[in-house]
Structure 1
Amino acid sequence: MKKLVCSLILLLSVNSIFAQAPLVKEKENGYKGQSIEGLVYQPESFSFLAIGDFGRVGNYYQKEVARELGHAMVSLDGEFVVSVGDNFYPNGVASTQDYHWISSYESIYTDPSLYTDWYVALGNHDYQGNVQAQIDYSEISRRWHMPSRYYSETFKLDNGEKVLLVVMDTNPFIDSYHKKSKYTDLKEQDTEAQLHWIKQTLGQEDQSIQWKIVVGHHPMYSGGKRKESKDTQDFQQKFADLFDQYQVDAYICGHEHDLQIIKPKGRYTTQFLSGSASEVRPSGVMEHTIFWAAEPGFMSFSIVDNQLIVQVVKATKDRAEVLYTHTIKK
């Protein structure tokens, strides 16, 4: 019995070490960041983080979430960060020299691990400013990536398989926005051209693409503020069938300032809503809700052994914890 107990303790200790392997290594090298309670590192995994609705000059919970985003990036040995839009409140940026870049981005996300690639989508608040300035900032910043309003990236895994990341611009597909003058140059955007591009990109004949992930600002489903919104319902009608048709594994979005995971029965695509990187609003459930929390935080995505493992992280004043873990198996 004593040997069994010792073996179990040893096994738990080994698992704990592997779970925190990258962070342990960096701490040995002098890194001062903290661990996140419950956050599990999968050896040999390909990981990235997703946040949304963040740019508030460090106000609300932005600094707390930014701090823990850095800790998670080190702990998971992350590859990049995804932003689902509403990068600058309340009215986007005016130019590449707008001080918002410093006050809401450069001076907030300062952990060394976050000086990596950020793949950024546009939100509705970004459309209230100079969208082209956010695209042009890609030529100024080492980490900010927005080569155009919609684009894609492909990542090769160690086993030779690939991950396709499609970043779309959802704003022109929201019909009610076309009636509002505050959304600069939105009416000039060609939704048919983007839709054709989305289909062509998702439908490309590359057998090595094993995971398809789409990023956009607006949700197809919500149990939060926009649960009954016509904008949400219309967006679902436009894209839910399309994502299923092209077997999109995950749709990552924001717009709602909370954390939600939703997958309707019979659907292929799981929606991951990560929109609480600064402000948090009351939320709730809908019929197909898997998880929800009106908490500040973000989500991590790890691909390993034909699994996509998603961990939902809550950030508070002086710590963070994993609230929920969801796994998609191929």
Structure 2
Amino acid sequence: MVHSLLAALFSLILYSSSMAELTRFFHPAKSDGTLSLLAIGDWGRNGTFNQSLVAYQMGMIGEELDIDFIISVGDNFYESGLRDVDDISFEESFCKIYTAKSLQKQWYSVLGNHDYRGNVMAQLDPILKQIDSRWLCMRSFIVDAEIANFFFLDTTPFVKKYWKNPKKNQYDWREVAPRKRYISSLLKELEIALGESAATWKIVIGHHTLRSVSEHGETPELVKLLLPMLINYGVDIYINGHDHCLQHISSTDSFIHFLTSGGGSKAWRGIIMPTMENLQFFYDGQGFVSLQLSSTDAEIKFYNVFGDVLHQWKITKEFYDYIV
């Protein structure tokens, strides 16, 4: 365990882009050029609502696939994020739950709307990494994993309704307000980064849905402001949580695949609302997603709390050598 933790720490080489301000991390692929990872969201409930069962299966699948890291798509701690850096929820919902040897890898995490209801600065504080070295949570950042670039986005500030009724839920907008300036800056940085990316796979991660047939449906602000950019720059996959289910939706007007991995704990909401998009898979329960990437293929699988593969498919990219 110590060796894997040290390896993860040394592999995280922080570097700055000369053109974009998004923080970048380097995470090497395996020696054969492949990459394996898990994605999970909406999980932090002290092990309840099957969180512990999902964690157990993540450990089993993580070992089978020899995963390189884990992605958390937000709503990391319920119901209202963390109180401060000493909040016991960090250990009770994270450190003591994801204990399998295969899960002792770097966790890359973004914030969800429930995280914003707590002390956001606590969840972003480097002190948490001293408690558990796996933890890395930032508002927005990029992970360069050689064959793939992962763009992690802070989507909560995009949603206007969170700003309009502070009496219902208090949101921690420190370092975010004013909203329009923050979003404008983030989108400009993202566009530069997407334009610079020469990776085979471009994968964007955010908490909120772009396409969904479940309770929250589409997020209008993201459909308007973010989706056109993802299409324009050839993004392959968008991964989100927010809806507490598992979904795979393919686009009718682009090559983007929309994956929902929000089954980390509380689920079974019983809501499905078909849309005009191509629904490939929907499961209204707990589970998680795996991605296995190579220079030509991406294989994605959805698992339930028993480790059963509920849905899988493969994307293949063909590259041609042109003779002039």
Residue among 139, 142, 146 paired with 2:133: 142
Q: Distance in 2 between matches of 1:155 and 1:234?
A: 29
Q: Is the 8 A contact 1:258 1:282 kept in 2?
A: no
Letter matched to residue 325 of structure 1: Q
2:229 to 234, 242, 260: 242
What SS class does the counterpart of residue 113 from structure 2 fall into? coil
Task: Report if the CA contact (8 A) 2:246-2:284 is conserved.
Answer: yes
User: Over aligned residues, Cα RMSD in angstroms?
Assistant: 1.6
Match of 1:101 among 90, 100, 120: 90
Is 1:194 paired with 2:183? no
Task: Please report how far the alpha carbon of residue 102 of structure 1 lies from its aligned counterpart in structure 2 after TM superposition.
Answer: 1.1
- Paired with 2:260 and 2:93, the residues of 1 have a C-alpha distance of 21
SS of corresponding position for 1:273: strand
Q: Which amino acid aligns with 2:309?
A: V
The amino acid across from 1:191 in the alignment is I
Quick check: 1:151 aligned with 2:141?
A: yes
2:270 is the alignment partner of 1:282: yes
TM-superposed deviation, 1:188: 4.3
Is the counterpart of residue 171 in structure 1 residue 160 in structure 2? no
- Match in the other structure for 1:255: 242
Identity rate, percent: 33
Cα separation, partners in 2 of 1:139 and 1:320, compared to 1, 3 Å: closer
Once the two structures are TM-superposed, the CA of residue 101 in structure 1 deviates from its matched residue by 0.7
Distance 2:310 2:276 in 1: 20
Q: Describe the SS at the equivalent of 1:187.
A: coil
Separation (CA, whole Å) in 1 of partners of 2:36 and 2:72? 15
Q: Determine the structure 1 residue equivalent to 2:308.
A: 321
* 2:135 maps to amino acid: W
Cα distance, 1:287 vs structure 2: 2.9
**Greater mean alpha carbon deviation, residues 276-285 or residues 72-81:** 276-285
Aligned residue type for 1:153: V
Whether 1:89 and 2:78 are equivalent positions in the alignment is yes
1:309 matched to which residue of 2?
299
2:33 and 2:303 map into 1 onto residues whose CA distance is: 21
Offset at 1:192? 1.1
- Does structure 2 retain, via aligned residues, the 8 Å contact 1:219–1:273? yes
Shift of 1:283: 3.6
Which one-letter code corresponds to 1:47 in the other structure?
S
When normalised by structure 1's length, the TM-score is 0.79
Report the secondary structure of 1:203's partner residue. Answer: helix
- The answer on whether the counterparts of 2:36 and 2:291 sit within 8 Å (CA) in structure 1 is yes
Structure 2 gap ranges (5+): 1-31, 318-324
Contact 1:258 1:283 in 2 (8 A): no
Q: Pick from 47, 53, 65: which aligns with 2:54? A: 65
Structure 1 gap segments, 5+ residues each: 1-42, 157-161
Q: Which amino acid aligns with 2:51?
A: Q
State the alpha-carbon separation in 1 of the partners of residues 125 and 136 from structure 2.
9
Question: For the pair shown, which has the larger CA radius of gyration, 1 or 2?
Answer: 1
CA deviation vs aligned residue, 1:189-232 (integer Å, no higher than 9, x gap): 5111111111111111x53x1111111000111111123x6xx2
* Paired AA for residue 204 in structure 2: V
- Counterpart contact for 2:187–2:226, Cα < 8 Å: no
Q: Is the 8 A contact 1:178 1:187 kept in 2?
A: no
Q: SS of the residue aligned with 2:239?
A: strand
**Aligned residue pairs, count:** 274
Q: How far has the Cα of 1:110 moved from its partner?
A: 0.6
For 1:214 and 1:195, locate their aligned partners in 2 and report how far apart those are by CA, in whole Å. 13
Change (3 A) 1:188 1:290: same
- Separation of aligned partners in 2, 1:220 and 1:324: 20
Give the deviation of 1:46 after TM superposition: 1.3
